[in-house]
Structure 1
């Protein structure tokens, strides 16, 4: 019974977040109210406030949840797999189309892409994105520490790895938004992470 309740809560949280993204993409951030988001999901504004403190948090939660799953995926990778191979696979698994099949509406990946553009461009969302990024980075550092036998309080290494991965993902997402002609995020991410794993060698002159 407890498992079903938790699943329902997760589904409601995801539905509210997707609704916030859809409405913001369609109307603009300033033209969306909490009441609108709640109504789109068929719940009360009070229920919305049980999950999120603001519409900005609701929108950013897609990014946060996806990032937190990276740490979970890293913990599940084979123990004998090289760290950077495991990290790359853990990150890419979260950006494959439809990773949240049970919780996502049709076209969820395309909606997330639209939401990403909003998240990166809307000043009112940037503080929430920074907070979400810090939470996710701390969780990834913990997973890296477990995998490498390092200590979060004594060792810089797990924090440096997590910060580097976070920076590479953010750089890939921003390049995805501005690239002309467009480059699929599924191509940008492995490229960014592979360059990082190789020590960021200088690019070959064109």
Structure 2
């Protein structure tokens, strides 16, 4: 028999996901500037007050999916074998994440395009990326040898995330002509080459 706590947490997660999906759908239909928290709450079948229990504002609701993906990617890096080189762990984790999560390409594209056009979304997304960079650097630092120092994990995390950001921009500019995984692989291959 399932515990009430487990059921309650699943219901909360389902509500959070429903609010996120309603926000994304309304944003695609009406434009981000024309979406209100009230409209999102109505579309998700909840009250305005319930919305506030889950999200601070519509930016948070819209970027919730990205935050979940970020957490999943960090966990994937942490779960890689401890003796695996950091760059290999990062690349393998993003490949596995892309395979397992199979995020809707349309949702990625919508969020990326919106963030490029709306300063409030871009600011929130940059905060998400700063937290991801910190978390990835910590995951990398745990796996490196004691003699490497504190700078290498930070540089690797920043380089990796820069490569992902460039890949997403190219993917959007190509108008989704290729799958995001293919573009990510190309950019990570380039990033892994020597700059000499």
Q: 1:155 to 1:41 in 2, by over 3 A?
A: same
Alignment-derived partner of residue 13 in structure 1: 16
SS of structure 2 residue aligned to 1:57: helix
Higher relative contact order (CA 8 A, sep 6+): 1
Alignment-derived partner of residue 74 in structure 1: 77
Counterparts of 2:30 and 2:22 in 1: how far apart (Å)?
12
C-alpha contact 1:119 1:129 (8 A) present in aligned 2: yes
Which runs of no fewer than 5 residues in structure 2 stay unpaired?
A: none
Counterparts of 1:7 and 1:96 in 2: how far apart (Å)?
24
Q: Tell me, yes or no, if structure 1 residue 171 matches structure 2 residue 166.
A: yes
More divergent stretch after superposition (79-88 vs 22-31): 79-88
Which runs of no fewer than 5 residues in structure 1 stay unpaired?
A: 101-107, 202-206
C-alpha contact 1:137 1:163 (8 A) present in aligned 2: yes
| 1:174-185 equivalence runs, <5 A | 174-179=169-174, 182-185=177-180
Deviation at 1:195, TM superposition (A): 1.8
Alignment-derived partner of residue 185 in structure 2: 190
Alignment-derived partner of residue 6 in structure 2: 3
Deviation at 1:149, TM superposition (A): 4.5
Alignment-derived partner of residue 122 in structure 2: 126
Deviation at 1:166, TM superposition (A): 1.2
Deviation at 1:200, TM superposition (A): 4.9
Once the two structures are superposed, residues 161-206 of structure 1 have per-residue CA deviations (whole angstroms, 9 ceiling, x without a partner) of 11111111111111111126823212111111222223357xxxxx
State TM-score, norm by structure 1.
0.82
Q: Tell me, yes or no, if structure 1 residue 158 matches structure 2 residue 153.
A: yes
Alignment-derived partner of residue 204 in structure 1: none
Counterparts of 1:193 and 1:4 in 2: how far apart (Å)?
40
CA RMSD of aligned residues (A): 2.3
Counterparts of 1:96 and 1:40 in 2: how far apart (Å)?
30
State TM-score, norm by structure 2.
0.86
SS of structure 2 residue aligned to 1:43: coil
Q: How many residues align?
A: 192
| 1:38-187 equivalence runs, <5 A | 38-96=41-99, 98-99=101-102, 108-149=104-145, 155-179=150-174, 182-187=177-182
Alignment-derived partner of residue 37 in structure 1: 40
Deviation at 1:45, TM superposition (A): 1.5
**Higher helix fraction (1 or 2):** 2
